[in-house]
Amino acid sequence: MQLRLKQSVLHLLETYITKTNEINPLLKLNCLQKMLELDEFNEHYMYLLLRFLIEQNKKQECVRCYERIKRKLIEELGVSIPDKIVKVYADYMIHV
């Protein structure tokens, strides 16, 4: 029951942030952070949060976010960071 509720909340949040055209940036950030709080190893949510921070041109937050991703995936799980996350981060860091 609890797992199904968590999955429903995650689906609702993801649908909201991807389908809503006019969304307050702070609200979107809060939704993304909540999604990762509920599913901390979800690479797609990590990517969405990093992309959002890049779109907002938040360099320091991008660096912190990438470091958290690295810590979660490499140090805690022992898996590599997905190429699309590495690429979007590297492309952004080259241009700022």
Domain ranges, ordered by start, for the chain: 2-95
Report pLDDT digits (tens) over 32-63: 999 999 999 999 999 999 999 999 999 999 99
Higher pLDDT, 63 or 21: 63
Question: Which residues touch 50 (CB under 8 Å, ≥6 apart)?
Answer: 62, 65, 66, 69, 85, 88, 89
Q: Quote the pLDDT of residue 41.
A: 96
The CATH fold assigned to 2-95 is: 1.25.40
Residues 10, 48: contact at Cβ < 8 Å?
Answer: no
Q: Quote the pLDDT of residue 21.
A: 81
